[in-house]
Copies of this chain bind each other. A is one copy, B any other.
Amino acid sequence: MSHAVAPNAFVEITPSAEVEVDRHGWRAKCLQRLVRMGLAVPRSFAVPSSAVRALAAGQTIGDGAFSRVLSEGQGLVGVRPSAPDPEWGGPKSVLNVGINDAKHKALIDTRGQAAADAIYLGFVQTYAVHVARLDPDMFSDSGPGALERALRAYRAETDEDFPQDPVRQLTEVMRSMARAWEGTTARLLRQAKGAPADAALGLVIQDMALALGPGITGSGTIQFVDSETGAPAITGRFRGQMQGSTMGEGAETLYLMRDPRGPALEEVAPEAFADLIRFGALARQRLREEMQLEFVISDGELSIIDATRVARSSRAGVRIAVSMAQDGIIPQDEAVMRVEPRALSDLLHYQVDSRKPRDIIARGVNASPGAATGRIVFTAAEAQSAQARGEACVLVRRETVPEDIRGMHASVAVLTERGGMTSHAAVIARGLGLPCIVGAGGIRIDLREGRLSVGGRVFRTGDVITIDGTRGEVLAGEAAMLQPALDDSFNTLLKWADENRDIGVRANADTPADARTARNFAAQGIGLCRTEHMFFDEARLSVMREMIFADRSEDRRSALDRLLPMQRMDFAELFSIMAGLPVCIRLFDPPLHEFLPSDREGARALAETLDLPLSDVVRRIDALSEFNPMLGMRGVRLGITMPEIYDMQARAIFEATVAVATMGATVVPEIMIPLVSARREVELVKTRIDAVAAAVRNETRADFAYRLGVMVETPRAALRAGDIAEHSAFLSFGTNDLTQMTYGLSRDDAGRFMNTYVGQGVYSEDPFHILDQEGVGELLQIGCQRARAHQPGITISVCGEHGGNPESIAFCRAAGVDYVSCSPFRVPVARLTAAQLAISERHES
């Protein structure tokens, strides 16, 4: 057999050796850094990925390499994986390679019979199972005589003695690790974490620091921050007589510091402990990261055998990054770059404690993060009663409709059987910051019986469940919770983010509560205030219906006149909360039939209220019904056909502007026209709104400014953005509707096949969740280009749900938007994302 890999391919890890992450992997490089810091790292070699590949392909390695590696100490080594990125995993480490009958005998002398047996047995077991691929059950034995039985079993199964040649052992161990790296599961797992298809494995071969034997001997880990909170705290444990998973005689756990559970290493081996503390501080400083050190103490002598990045919660991640920047170890913008924006969401909400057991009864789409526990209610009315009684409740519906909004306000969480990421329930819940699971296909709701059935279990009205909206899990009963973490570190990080950001971030906020949340999260204004919810209040709804049933313009106007003071109040409150910041109000958008009763009983009640024959009411409701409401008589089409509605809204906006101005709050309201598809629509609406403004200025003898713009949500509006921009102070892309129309896909109906579609790779992502850059995105780019070409000073933004999604924000920023607007609870994510994009670009250029 020819030697394909030169013996000198193995690099001894010294301070000056040529060790590269690309070739030798992340662990090899990290070990070199530890060596350079002067830490007591056992002699280690880096094996390049080329050599590992050659081994996997069946080639061998020149003997010289191995004899050098195996030449010192007891001649025992450990082999560890060293991938280019620690996240990509790798095969299990194999320790004590090189052990054989002769070395076993020698170890008995130096380490004692028990330690020597444990070391040999451990290796035989590992080798038999992972290298020779024998039945693990035959080698699971322990206790007296286990070593002899294992060696016998090996011989019986393979017809040969257990290999005594350390070089052969090492070659086979490395080859088995190399092949494990190529396995399908391993490949899929690491690719899911972003590894390229040709990611290569390096290995590290390290002299064993034996953790079995006389004196203070054992292995342990230590870290200097709390993984859950990120606060300074020395944690870890040291287990005596423990090498990897192999336990020798007299094993016991020593705690690092004084601990009620047992003796402390700090007391037993104060010098080693002090070294660990010192090494930890050094590693943090020099590796610019919170590290967990893996160490062995062998008869009192400390070796650092490995160091890895401390595992951490989202919350800890923020605190660690901020504190390292505050300590001057990393610059502020690097701290900003280190936090995954998506992770911020976890910090804003209660979370189910992941360390506790959970009784999962159903899974669905994790539509809005956070967790809450409450009693089941099946209707919005029940939810409001529960709230009145001071009872936390979870609203469970097949799907929600606009009438359910007050019920959602009254609930602590929402669960629906149908729907996807952008169903009504999901959008509203995210806006409200309510934990929400939608599309929980396995559940079945029997509204009449007040029953929720799932997998043979039945829950009734009043039963307690917990919604884990972060994971998309419905839990039976109450679950242990972690508090939200809007602490100093969080605020500091976002402050630094804002200093780096170069696009604006606003919030989509419909209510005063939303607006307050938005302000709390430092949104730079409201990018989308939907006004339709304002008409669902009972008192308003009946006036609304009167307006809908009016045949003549005067009658419509008279009904609207009664709505005017309420709308003025709505806007005045929003303007006061957002004082000094822009508020973009979308004019009335939904089809009118959403405001009419959907069942016969409701129609009868309405007939009574309006004093009309039932048949008339039914006929009118029927006449207003639509085949495809999404594509029907709504938005600007309604605004042009029944201009009195927009007139009233514009008046309310202007009067509110004047009113809050008298109280010292400056607002420049932005008025946005929905569902535009042609320039003339904008012209017609603009003419009327300008007239209303003139009238209000006249009547109030007050001056005020406002900006009129267009919501770009039809493909045609994007294509004609040049035209449309001429009459618009701003364009805001409503990417939800734009996605619906570009794909010809209703978000309310997509839930039934979206999982299949994403599962089969038909769509690489749910386009309602991640902006479809190739289709919808191209329309967005076209729209931006043409609008700017016609009117360079125009403000362009994105106010669809995508405004809160990091990938989508990156795309929108590249397309040239001035700001993104997202649900209030996504504002921190957007602020951080936008900052990271600006920093990355600066670093690249």
Residues of A within 8 A of B (CB): 626-633, 637, 640-641, 675, 677-678, 680-681, 684, 713-716, 719-720, 737, 740-746, 748-750, 752-753, 756-757, 760-763, 772, 774-776, 778-779
Contact = CB atoms under 8 A, between A and B. Distances in A.
Closest 3 CB pairs of A and B: A631-B746, A632-B749, A716-B775
A719 B641 CA distance: 32
A630, A641, A762, A776 — most chain B CB neighbours (10 Å): A762
A275 to B, nearest CB: 58
A241 to B, nearest CB: 57
Contacts of A632: 745-746, 749-750, 752
A interface SS class: helix
17 contacts: A626-B748, A627-B746, A628-B629, A628-B748, A629-B749, A632-B746, A641-B756, A677-B742, A677-B743, A677-B775, A684-B762, A715-B775, A716-B776, A719-B742, A719-B775, A719-B779, A737-B744
Nearest to A622: B398
A768 to B, nearest CB: 12
A626 B628 CA distance: 9
A797 to B, nearest CB: 20
B631 A760 contact: no
Contact of A630 (B628, B637, B680, B742): B628
B716 A742 contact: yes
Contacts of A745: 631-632, 677
Contacts of A678: 762-763
Contacts of A750: 632
A393 B643 CA distance: 42
A662 B776 CA distance: 48
B715 A756 contact: no
Nearest to A745: B631
Given A640-B762, A757-B640, A776-B716, A631 B633 contact: no
Given A640-B756, A684-B760, A741-B744, 18 more contacts: A626-B746, A628-B628, A630-B631, A632-B749, A632-B752, A637-B753, A640-B760, A641-B753, A641-B756, A677-B742, A680-B763, A681-B762, A714-B744, A715-B741, A715-B742, A716-B776, A719-B779, A741-B742
Nearest to A677: B743
Contacts of A628: 628-631, 746, 748-749
Contacts of A631: 628, 630-631, 740-741, 744-746, 749
B633 A774 contact: no
Contact of A716 (B675, B680, B753, B772): B772
A633 B680 contact: no
Contacts of A774: 719-720
A778 B640 contact: no
A749 B640 contact: no
A744 B775 contact: no
A761 B641 CA distance: 13
A741 B745 CA distance: 9
Contacts of A680: 760-763
A690 to B, nearest CB: 17
A113 B774 CA distance: 89
A795 B404 CA distance: 50
Nearest to A417: B623
A713 B742 CA distance: 10
A680, A684, A714, A715 — most chain B CB neighbours (10 Å): A715
A748 B631 CA distance: 9
Contacts of A720: 774-775
A385 B674 CA distance: 48
Contacts of A763: 678, 680
Contacts of A681: 762
